[in-house]
Structure 1
């Protein structure tokens, strides 16, 4: 598969805006109750992410990176602190408002592909359009993205007929079909061999560079993190580097 986009003329999904962070996090704290004890999963995290940046967040299990991922994606509210996504404050959003954020502003890619087994690859992507109340037909630009991902000829296949790498690429297409401003990827190569991992990471970098897609990738793998523009490290609920 040729992942070089030099011959294509894809329009950016989101034009970069200088000096305008798309994500702003200030003194973020998340506390969970474990029996009689309060456990701080996040302890005063602050960071900015520029529009169009590819940022990797590295840390071991329990470092707080997955909790940060869930808060940035509107999957869970913080205990205190502020989070602004594309100019909208998540800290005081209702469940309905966070759901709207997930539909329109943030796309998700997970370690598990989470494809519906009874649907074709195309239908797995289209269902996200349908949930957002948008036409399910793909436009020419998105079909070019499918070709870039190397799955344009695999749309009629169900997940069981696809390789792990192909399933993850379908999951990436599903995550960006609504043109989200931000793509959150949680260990996107965790279930892939080294060859398919390189393919997926290169494609994420291409989406970032050629389409202006802001990407935050959670990983424990320094080699995967190296594909990003910038890497931060987390330990014990804090950003340490």
Structure 2
């Protein structure tokens, strides 16, 4: 944690089962420090085994990704390349309000995962899915607009409420990327880690546009 204060790492692989301070608490401390500096370093959880709820717990405290042992070299390479830009000459890091679009896209767009689990959604909503998609897209736009007002005002109660509400809608509609970001926003808002809230909210807006585009083009 002390090293993270001094050095702006491009990525931290966080062992969840460290002997002195576990990875969850270490991440909380790093994110707390970042709320003062405005800097956001990607943190990927490394766990000994995949357990139910582990990924959600890691994302909730501010981690950006998750990998469980045993993992292959290719899986590790994919994780690292996902978060570290290939252009090594670009040393600028996002800070405060100057978060770069490319950094946000690393969070929301460059993921190989589909923004919506379409197969699961069709099972959940076997009839009238076209109409439900329209309702979902419209409601998400309204929810994000209200969430943005709360984030700008740094209103802890309203931000937490709006993020929690949107999280539920995204879960119902199998929109995993947006759901994970809402989890992160809700947790960060409760701790008043506003730089992290703002970063995750900007990422959420990109994820929302990607989700909307995916649903509009999907064969429903």
Query: Same fold per TM (> 0.5)?
Result: no
RCO greater where, 1 or 2, for CA within 8 Å and sep 6 or more?
1
TM-score w.r.t. length of structure 2: 0.27
TM-score w.r.t. length of structure 1: 0.26
- Which has more helix, going by share of residues? 2
